[in-house]
Structure 1
Amino acid sequence: MTEEASGASAHGYRVLARKYRPRTFADLIGQEAVVRTLSNAFATGRIAQAYMLTGVRGVGKTTTARLIARALNYPGGPSIDMPEVTPDCEAILESRHIDVIEMDAASNTGVDDVREIIEGVRYAPIQARYKVYIIDEVHMLSKNAFNALLKTLEEPPPHVKFIFATTEIRKVPVTILSRCQRFDLRRMDAEVLMQLFAKVAKAESVAIEDDALRMIARAAEGSARDGLSLLDQAIAYGSETVKATEVGAMLGLIDRTRVIELFEAVMAGDAAAAIKEIETQHEAGGDPHTILSDLADYVHWVTRLKVAPKASGDASRSETERQRGQEHAAKISMPHLTRAWQMLLKGLKEIELHSDQLMAAEMVLIRLAYAAGLPSGDDLVRMVREGVPAPREARPAPRVEREPDNGPPPVDYGQLAVASEPASERPQERSTETRPFAHLSDVAAYVGEKRDIRLKNQIENLMRHIRVSPGQIEVALEASAPPGLVNELGRKLNEWTGQRWMVLVSRDGGEKPLAQQRQDKKDTIYRETREHPDVQAILKRFPGAEIVDVRDFESAVTPVDDMQIEKDTDER
């Protein structure tokens, strides 16, 4: 398992991340799909000329590349079963084999660097079966360097193999990806990491508490290398026994029980207790931003338990978190949890911007505690209908408003929207195929599909519908219509449809412009909505509230054209 029998050597101390680097595919934890694919490929002789390894930092890309190079050159191979460590194997694992060339693309980005590879592939390997080129962070190569490599990568000599590694797979040209067999190395589960760290601690003769393992596994964020580095630091911090309290202090974390107590205080609406708790944690060395991040993490944990109870088996969570999290999930409603999550996300940004982080964090907790007493949107409507008095914490009520008509209504408390326009009356999406027009609105919609927003805006605001028939459109113009508008419409319709169109102009008459009709309809809906008994009751219950917009709950996102037209109209 280890590179050396002990941590000390003639070259000094070897950190755990290097000492316990995998030396065989059996040691490569968490990447079973990669191992199985390579095993079958080697067994059947289906060996690709190039491999692309991608994944986040510390999941084993470079290590896997060296293992593949070792497997390709193993005596009697290629094979993933490598029980004996030969001198060639040792040289490959230590990055000093003459036929396994490792290159860092971050410092070798140009065409000249790739030209050296192209020149070198012509020569057969000196000691090994294959000459293997391992290029780390391959996405750092320049565009010209990638292009120079294409031909060689597609048809390399039979004795040459390429192995690429990258953390930014989207930056690698598709022409390179199409010539490689790709492996996505996955993040390691916290449970797998805990088992690895426990095994390493045992090999190092170090006692470590389970909660300390959980903290390190969670802080590693799926990276074995990061986790081993933290374990190395924790061992040095705690000597022969690694305790959870010491790891928490090392990582700047607060005891999870304290985080739960803070959560209970704000969800109970006890702002004083919440402020006292965060001040106590701050005096103990806790960072305000980290405290609220941990609080947000616990809110997410409770929400997750509410929608997926089976998640309670998560090994990265302590027994206290699992037990009390289930209790909170059963008692606290989903609207209150999602509201707390939204407020915490916003609050974390405020903390980053303020010079006094503790002050900003306290204000976030006060808002959370105050909002805990507010009813959800459904509860608010029910209370109004049943005549139940509004809770004291909800006064004064915020404005009754909706966001602009550009998407589904957000989940927010103290806000209310009233739907009225039927979904069937909203403009329907139309095909871009040529079709007969029955009304000026059809013409405007067709122009919108052609992405001519300016012309569509002019049609809806400056033209009045009179008559539309095949090949002919008759309109009246507003006084502010620019010269040439009619000719422009006719010319573009001829170009787009392949048919001849005549646009006639009458001096007066016709319907109101389409934009005015839409506004009149919206005003009517707004007036009818305001007169609705439920809305009247809400406005009466919350003095000072007002309706700033009305939208249809069943409607989809407003078409881009309509939003752009409204924007252009406002600017004009």
Structure 2
Amino acid sequence: MDNFIVSARKYRPATFETVVGQQHITNTLKNAIKNNQLAQAFLFCGPRGVGKTTCARILAKTINCTNLKPNGEACGECASCKAFENGNSFNVHELDAASNNSVDDIRSLIEQVRIPPQAARYKVYIIDEVHMLSQAAFNAFLKTLEEPPHYAIFILATTEKHKILPTILSRCQIFDFNRIRVEDTANHLASIAGKESIGYEPDGLHIIAQKADGGLRDALSMFDQIVSFSGGKVTYRSVIDNLNILDYDYYFNITESLLKEDTAKVLLFFDEILSRGFDGAHFIAGLSEHFRNLLVGKDQSTLKLLEVSEGIKTKYLQQSQQASVSFLLSAMNIANQCDISYKLSKNQRLQVELALLKMCHLPSVFNLATTPLTVTSATDGD
């Protein structure tokens, strides 16, 4: 049986064109290579799993390619590209600063920098998790980073830019990586599902993308997990069950009951949610998000802020017409107060139930406020 390769490795981008959601960075790097305006040191910052190390490797491969394509991409066929892809290039060195963070490790790297590249234009040093270097290691690295040999290029990657010394930052060209948009992540997962002949529902892929919170690597890990769980078909239900996520339907049904002032139904829904093992804080945070989405769905200009699939978006648009802005704002405020006091409460279930009951009576309060008062005057009868 062939060894299984996780999707994050199997479908790791090999060219700038295939990097997901970081066009502002890949375009800048391609232009710098084409115009021969490469900096001596780069710093790639951003959350985990958004493509920092991947871009560093693509850049290292591309600048040593002897047969660049017209669009600024590496050819993938020359000796330098082949050596890089096979993992035996003498001109690209990777250092994991998380486990090699001492001053001796950096001194060893500085010694290597003195040796010129072999059959290539540049020697590239990729230092991952650079914020983990010790103070002494940073200081030892400063002089080399400021005045490296003309053939040396340093690419530093970090998730915590604020931990890096200002003296290091001032010597680097800094690139800030974005969290990857839900839409981009879902589209990427759909393309992988197509290549692997895996059936999927768009709603299911959107849930994975939302849960990944901008990290493509996390999304691919979840995707692999659900493919194993469901036997090769990624459905909305399999994602909800496997990732232990509250179904959108619960929030839609609860909101409908709140608008009808059906207190019994609301409390029964909440009891069902608790019996499925969900935490009250998790539920109330999700309900706040639901009200926010309904508020966003009320205006055509804010619809783009709804990061959900088309099927769910239609449901939001329908329910947003039923709920008034006053109700949604007041309900969000109640949910927010409940969220704040939840952890301090000794009876946490009661906190959520009390919040739901308050929301249930909001329509009556608004009706009462808008009903004009009729004044009856008493007259003496003669």
TM-score bracket for the superposition, by shorter chain length: 0.7 to 0.9
Measure how far apart 1:85 and its partner are. 4.1
Measure how far apart 1:219 and its partner are. 1.0
For the aligned residue pairs, the C-alpha RMSD in angstroms reads 2.8
Indicate the residue corresponding to 2:105 in structure 1. 113
Report the secondary structure of 1:273's partner residue. Answer: helix
Q: TM-score, normalised by structure 1?
A: 0.60
Contact 1:253–1:290 (Cα < 8 Å) also in 2? no
Once residues 321 and 201 of structure 1 are traced to their aligned partners in structure 2, the CA distance between those partners, rounded to angstroms, is 21
Contact 1:206–1:240 (Cα < 8 Å) also in 2? yes
Change (3 A) 1:359 1:183: same
Once residues 218 and 195 of structure 2 are traced to their aligned partners in structure 1, the CA distance between those partners, rounded to angstroms, is 19
Once residues 219 and 87 of structure 1 are traced to their aligned partners in structure 2, the CA distance between those partners, rounded to angstroms, is 41
1:338 aligned partner, one-letter code: L
Once residues 83 and 349 of structure 2 are traced to their aligned partners in structure 1, the CA distance between those partners, rounded to angstroms, is 54
Most deviating of 352-361 and 297-306: 352-361
The equivalences for 1:143-222 within 5 A come to: 143-222=135-214
Identity, % of aligned pairs? Answer: 35
Indicate the residue corresponding to 2:19 in structure 1. 28
Q: Does 1:17 align with 2:8?
A: yes
Indicate the residue corresponding to 2:228 in structure 1. 236
Once residues 208 and 222 of structure 1 are traced to their aligned partners in structure 2, the CA distance between those partners, rounded to angstroms, is 20
Report the secondary structure of 1:248's partner residue. Answer: helix
Could you give the per-residue CA deviations for residues 177-209 of structure 1, whole angstroms, max 9, x where no partner exists? 221111111122211111110111111111011
Q: TM-score, normalised by structure 2?
A: 0.87
Once residues 111 and 69 of structure 1 are traced to their aligned partners in structure 2, the CA distance between those partners, rounded to angstroms, is 25
Change (3 A) 1:295 1:315: closer
Measure how far apart 1:110 and its partner are. 3.1
Measure how far apart 1:260 and its partner are. 0.8
Once residues 324 and 343 of structure 1 are traced to their aligned partners in structure 2, the CA distance between those partners, rounded to angstroms, is 23
Which of 289, 298, 304 is the matching residue for 1:297? Answer: 289
Measure how far apart 1:328 and its partner are. 4.0
Q: Does 1:137 align with 2:129?
A: yes
Contact 1:23–1:93 (Cα < 8 Å) also in 2? no
Once residues 323 and 146 of structure 2 are traced to their aligned partners in structure 1, the CA distance between those partners, rounded to angstroms, is 58
The equivalences for 1:162-561 within 5 A come to: 162-306=154-298, 308-312=299-303, 316-352=307-343, 358-371=349-362, 373-375=364-366
Contact 2:34–2:72 (Cα < 8 Å) also in 1? no
Report the secondary structure of 1:124's partner residue. Answer: coil
Contact 2:97–2:133 (Cα < 8 Å) also in 1? yes
Measure how far apart 1:309 and its partner are. 2.1
Once residues 184 and 27 of structure 1 are traced to their aligned partners in structure 2, the CA distance between those partners, rounded to angstroms, is 18
Measure how far apart 1:333 and its partner are. 3.8
Report the secondary structure of 2:94's partner residue. Answer: strand
Change (3 A) 1:233 1:64: same
Measure how far apart 1:61 and its partner are. 0.5
Change (3 A) 1:320 1:15: closer
Report the secondary structure of 1:22's partner residue. Answer: coil
Which of 115, 123, 131 is the matching residue for 2:115? Answer: 123
Indicate the residue corresponding to 1:468 in structure 2. none
Measure how far apart 1:351 and its partner are. 4.2
2:173 aligned partner, one-letter code: Q
Measure how far apart 1:267 and its partner are. 4.1
Measure how far apart 1:16 and its partner are. 0.8
Indicate the residue corresponding to 2:43 in structure 1. 52
Once residues 40 and 334 of structure 2 are traced to their aligned partners in structure 1, the CA distance between those partners, rounded to angstroms, is 52
Contact 2:296–2:305 (Cα < 8 Å) also in 1? no
Report the secondary structure of 1:278's partner residue. Answer: helix
Contact 1:55–1:185 (Cα < 8 Å) also in 2? yes
Indicate the residue corresponding to 1:513 in structure 2. none
Measure how far apart 1:316 and its partner are. 4.1
Once residues 22 and 320 of structure 1 are traced to their aligned partners in structure 2, the CA distance between those partners, rounded to angstroms, is 30
Measure how far apart 1:100 and its partner are. 1.5
Could you give the per-residue CA deviations for residues 418-445 of structure 1, whole angstroms, max 9, x where no partner exists? xxxxxxxxxxxxxxxxxxxxxxxxxxxx
Q: Does 1:71 align with 2:56?
A: no
Report the secondary structure of 1:165's partner residue. Answer: strand
Once residues 251 and 165 of structure 2 are traced to their aligned partners in structure 1, the CA distance between those partners, rounded to angstroms, is 45
Most deviating of 17-26 and 138-147: 138-147
Once residues 78 and 330 of structure 2 are traced to their aligned partners in structure 1, the CA distance between those partners, rounded to angstroms, is 60
1:259 aligned partner, one-letter code: Y
1:323 aligned partner, one-letter code: T
Once residues 96 and 102 of structure 2 are traced to their aligned partners in structure 1, the CA distance between those partners, rounded to angstroms, is 12
Measure how far apart 1:33 and its partner are. 1.2
Report the secondary structure of 2:174's partner residue. Answer: strand
1:218 aligned partner, one-letter code: Q
Determine which structure has the larger helix proportion and give its number.
Answer: 2
Aligned length: 374
Indicate the residue corresponding to 2:90 in structure 1. 98
Change (3 A) 1:348 1:227: same
Q: Which runs of 5+ in 1 are unaligned?
A: 1-7, 390-572
The equivalences for 1:78-97 within 5 A come to: 80-86=72-78, 88-93=80-85, 96-97=88-89
Could you give the per-residue CA deviations for residues 277-325 of structure 1, whole angstroms, max 9, x where no partner exists? 122233345443333332122111112223x423435684244532342
2:34 aligned partner, one-letter code: A
Measure how far apart 1:358 and its partner are. 4.5
Measure how far apart 1:96 and its partner are. 4.9
Measure how far apart 1:156 and its partner are. 0.6
Change (3 A) 1:87 1:363: farther
Once residues 209 and 55 of structure 1 are traced to their aligned partners in structure 2, the CA distance between those partners, rounded to angstroms, is 30
Once residues 356 and 335 of structure 1 are traced to their aligned partners in structure 2, the CA distance between those partners, rounded to angstroms, is 29
| Higher radius of gyration, 1 or 2 | 1
Report the secondary structure of 2:127's partner residue. Answer: strand
Measure how far apart 1:339 and its partner are. 2.8
Report the secondary structure of 2:297's partner residue. Answer: helix
Measure how far apart 1:46 and its partner are. 0.5
Once residues 327 and 294 of structure 2 are traced to their aligned partners in structure 1, the CA distance between those partners, rounded to angstroms, is 11
Once residues 107 and 324 of structure 2 are traced to their aligned partners in structure 1, the CA distance between those partners, rounded to angstroms, is 63
Q: Which runs of 5+ in 2 are unaligned?
A: 376-382
Measure how far apart 1:350 and its partner are. 4.3
Report the secondary structure of 1:329's partner residue. Answer: helix
Once residues 243 and 345 of structure 2 are traced to their aligned partners in structure 1, the CA distance between those partners, rounded to angstroms, is 23
